[in-house]
């Protein structure tokens, strides 16, 4: 356990992989003629790669519990806002400008001031430009409606005594999902905030509790055989591989498959991190840091690459995929280093100064 890294490297790698899964999923539908290539002629279920978002939700629940369950509510909310909002707002405004000035890069964007306002403040609505699906102007931002709602619920529970926080969080999430069963199809807001996807955050919370109480504190597990089993790299890797096989196989695609595979993958990665056996791969760690930028920004690259390939008459799926993925990664790293990281540092600097002052006076 002494070899365990302060930063959970496996979770960082998984962020990068989940974002790349979403990129591949959107590649699949960009040019219909290339779909057999992207699905390896039926060997993998590319539509199931949307499960990358499910993985993000489990990771979010896990990380929030591990890193913030002892936080002050306002401090927690501000850090989440500083992390999520600036880049999302910036890219949403880019979509608006493209829809007005270069519509070929934002063909299905249905702009109105109402849609812009709802998109910016994370209010779900049925987007007519996408057949009534609950998408904001920046389509990948649909998942942020869930994230921000989860953060609000999480912050509210931080007002309670510590011993009540876990059970209250899980009770609220379960009650909301149960309400969704009673009130199906009752509008975009109700459908979003009572979705079964909320349970993915709950699973992440449970994993976070298990990590803090058991995996990160091995003496808590009194039976050394059980501890050895849970922290075995073989078991962890088997869970990860099993989850990806369930997710990516040609038999996949159902909601249960996506749910179970996301849980297996994240649980396996967390256990591997806890064992201290996760190797250090610098580039994948960097891509994990930039995964939010990759997730939000890759659609711009896909549209640009599609137009570029049409203009240059490149008719190879390999060329399209290579240009799209390389461009998405390059833009993500650039955006992370030039915009996302400096903005986060600027907005959270007062919090760090306050924390140092509190430590100095204590």
The share of the chain scoring above pLDDT 70, in percent, equals 86
Taking the model in full, what pTM does it have? 0.89
> What is the model's pLDDT at position 329?
97
Beta bridge partners of 127: 133
| Residue 210 confidence class, pLDDT cut points 50, 70, 90 | confident
- The tens digit of pLDDT for each residue in 308-347 reads 887 877 778 888 889 999 999 999 999 999 999 999 999 9
> What is the model's pLDDT at position 3?
38
66 phi and psi angles, rounded to 5 deg: -65, -40
CA distances from 334 to 289, 290, 331, 341, 352 (A): 12, 9, 5, 10, 25
Computed over every residue of the chain, the mean pLDDT equals: 85
| Residue 221 confidence class, pLDDT cut points 50, 70, 90 | low
| Residue 235 confidence class, pLDDT cut points 50, 70, 90 | confident
- The tens digit of pLDDT for each residue in 140-192 reads 999 999 999 999 999 999 999 988 999 999 999 999 999 988 877 678 999 99
Q: Locate all alpha helices (DSSP H) within the chain, ordered by sequence.
A: 9-30, 35-38, 51-68, 73-101, 113-120, 142-157, 162-182, 188-193, 198-210, 224-230, 233-248, 255-275, 282-289, 291-312, 317-335, 341-361
Instruction: Write the DSSP symbol of residue 211.
Output: I
Averaged pLDDT, 29-52: 78
> What is the model's pLDDT at position 360?
45
> What is the model's pLDDT at position 102?
67
- Using a 10 angstrom Cβ sphere, with 0-12 exposed, 13-18 middle and 19 or more buried, the burial of residue 177 is middle
Angle between the N-to-C axes of helices 73-101 and 142-157, in degrees from 0 to 180, rounded to the nearest 10: 170
In this model, does residue 127 exceed pLDDT 80? yes
Find the largest Cα–Cα distance for the chain. Answer: 67
């Amino acid at each position: 356990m002494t070899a365990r890294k302060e930063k959970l490297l496996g979770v960082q790698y998984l962020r990068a992989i989940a974002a790349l899964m979403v990129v591949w999923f959107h590649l699949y539908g960009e040019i219909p003629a290339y779909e057999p290539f992207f699905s390896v002629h039926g060997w993998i279920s590319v539509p199931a790669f949307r499960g990358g978002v499910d993985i993000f939700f489990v990771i979010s629940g896990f990380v929030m519990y591990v890193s913030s369950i002892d936080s002050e509510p306002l401090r927690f909310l501000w850090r989440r806002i500083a992390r999520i909002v600036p880049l999302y707002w910036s890219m949403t405004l880019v979509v608006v400008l493209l829809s007005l000035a270069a519509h070929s890069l934002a063909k299905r964007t249905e702009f109105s001031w109402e849609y812009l306002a709802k998109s910016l403040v994370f209010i779900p609505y049925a987007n007519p430009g996408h057949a009534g699906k609950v998408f904001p102007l920046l389509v990948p931002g649909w998942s942020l409606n869930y994230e921000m709602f989860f953060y609000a619920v999480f912050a509210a529970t931080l007002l309670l005594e510590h011993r009540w926080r876990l059970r209250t969080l899980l009770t609220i999430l379960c009650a909301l999902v149960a309400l969704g069963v009673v009130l199906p199809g009752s509008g975009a807001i109700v459908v979003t905030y009572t979705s079964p996807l909320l349970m993915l955050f709950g699973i992440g919370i449970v994993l976070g509790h298990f990590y803090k109480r058991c995996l990160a504190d091995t003496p808590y597990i009194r039976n050394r055989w059980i501890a050895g089993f849970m922290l075995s790299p073989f078991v962890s890797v088997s869970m990860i591989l099993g989850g990806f096989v369930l997710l990516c196989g040609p038999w996949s695609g159902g909601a249960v498959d996506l749910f179970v595979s996301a849980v297996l993958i994240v649980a396996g990665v967390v256990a591997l991190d806890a064992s201290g056996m996760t190797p250090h791969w610098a580039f994948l760690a960097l891509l994990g840091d930039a995964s939010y930028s990759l997730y939000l920004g890759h659609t711009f690259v896909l549209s640009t690459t599609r137009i570029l390939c049409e203009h240059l008459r490149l008719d190879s799926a390999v060329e399209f995929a290579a240009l799209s993925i390389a461009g998405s990664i390059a833009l993500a790293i650039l955006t992370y280093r030039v915009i996302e990281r400096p903005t986060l540092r600027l907005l959270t600097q007062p919090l760090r100064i306050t924390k140092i002052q509190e430590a100095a006076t204590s």
